[in-house]
Amino acid sequence: MLFEWSQIDRVFLDLDGTLLDLHFDNHFWLEHVPVRYAEKHGLDHAQAKQILHGKYSAASNSLNWYCVEYWSRELQLDIPQLKHEVADRISVRPSVESFLQYLHMHGKRVVLVTNAHSASIAIKMNKTGLDRHFDRIITSHELGYAKEQSAFWPALRNVEPFDVHRTLFIDDNFQVLDAAREYGIKNLLAIRKPDSRGADKQHESYVLLDSFEQIMH
């Protein structure tokens, strides 16, 4: 067994790529935004992709990367509207609903801890209804740091006090897991296949879950 449930009283869960299929976000940023950006600025598709690649790289690992308002401004596109256009691709990963029910049945406090912007969360919760399963939803935007940043974790502890030994954190982003580990969170799990149409991930030090069924015992 990876950990003892009796030693865990709180579970922090990431949203995109952990509870939801990352296919939506990958499709949105890598396929849909380039189409609309090319239309808006009179570019061909390859040019649009190249320009966007540069803009994405410059913003990665910062709160801006996750900020709908930043991208609406930077790209001069209505990002929430564009998300609505492809919202039928939003989907919950396998066994997520039963895992969330399992956590509640066992008396765990369940907190969504996400870098997603509130506008994105609203679209995704409206589509999936997952919000009813959380005791609390915390976004990095309200704390002022992305989860990848070391300052995020003490800021989280200020608003949601937790014991690093009695908290389980599950996320598909290794840089986020590194920051959580450096802060001292002991029970960490990663996701093998965040995007159902993408490749399996590999990591030498994190356990990668193939399914939440593995930890429902």
Which residues between 169 and 198 bind Mg ion (CB under 5 A)?
172
Which residues between 30 and 89 bind Mg ion (CB under 5 A)?
none
Within a 13 Å sphere around the CA of 84, how many CA atoms are in the beta-carbon half? 7
Q: Of 48 and 90, which CB lies nearer to Mg ion in the complex structure?
A: 90
CB of 99 to Mg ion, least distance (A): 16
Residue 148 binds Mg ion (CB under 5 A): no
Residue 100 one-letter amino acid: L
Residue 16 binds Mg ion (CB under 5 A): yes
Q: Of 38 and 194, which CB lies nearer to Mg ion in the complex structure?
A: 194
Distance CA 188, CA 168 (A): 6
CB of 39 to Mg ion, least distance (A): 29
Instruction: Select from 8-16, 42-50, 88-96, 119-127 the region that touches Mg ion (CB under 5 A).
Output: 8-16
CB of 201 to Mg ion, least distance (A): 11
Alpha helices (H) along 6-109: 23-27, 33-41, 45-59, 68-75, 79-85, 96-105
Return the HEC string of 28-43. HHHHHHHHHHHHHHCC
Q: Of 17 and 34, which CB lies nearer to Mg ion in the complex structure?
A: 17
Helix (H, G, I), strand (E, B) or coil at 55: helix
Nearest to 191 by CA among 25, 60, 14, 3: 14
Residue 17 binds Mg ion (CB under 5 A): yes
Residue 14 binds Mg ion (CB under 5 A): yes
Judged by the rule CB under 5 A, the positions of this chain that interact with Mg ion are: 14, 16-17, 172
